[in-house]
């Protein structure tokens, strides 16, 4: 996993007030299989905690193979800012700090 500068800034702003809250990815099952969701939350005991460019991220172990090559970005649509998970083809969004 990698972060864009926008993604890093957004996550830092959301987690600054509580050192126990991280960006957390978790598996969600539906009739079509497994999907993933994300939230700012306290990790659970089975989560894997990863440090990505100074940002701690929690994820369900089931998602490690799904998310390992993804890019975490932040985007604003219709005035609402949120996390966007991108494929490696979007590496042009990653710039050196």
Give the separation between CA 17 and CA 32, rounded to whole angstroms.
37
Q: Contact, 21 vs 44, CB < 8 A? A: no
Question: Domain holding 6: CATH number?
Answer: 2.60.300.12
The per-residue pLDDT for 30 is 82
Q: Which domain holds residue 59?
A: 2-93
The per-residue pLDDT for 18 is 86
Q: In the Cβ-directed half-sphere of 28, how many Cα atoms lie within 13 Å? A: 7
| Domains of the chain: total | 1
This prediction's pTM: 0.82
The per-residue pLDDT for 34 is 82
On the question of pLDDT at 68 being above 50, the answer is yes
Q: What's the pLDDT tens digit per position in 8-42?
A: 999 999 898 888 899 999 988 888 888 889 999 99
Give the separation between CA 10 and CA 80, rounded to whole angstroms.
12
């Amino acid at each position: 996993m990698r972060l864009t500068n926008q993604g890093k800034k957004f996550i830092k702003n959301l987690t600054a007030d509580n050192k126990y809250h991280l960006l957390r990815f978790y598996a969600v099952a539906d009739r079509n299989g497994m999907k993933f969701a994300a939230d700012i939350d306290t990790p659970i005991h089975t989560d894997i905690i990863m440090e990505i460019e100074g940002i701690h991220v929690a994820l369900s172990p089931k998602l490690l193979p799904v998310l390992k090559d993804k890019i975490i970005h932040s985007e604003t649509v219709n005035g609402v800012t949120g996390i966007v998970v991108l494929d490696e083809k979007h590496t042009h969004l990653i710039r050196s700090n």
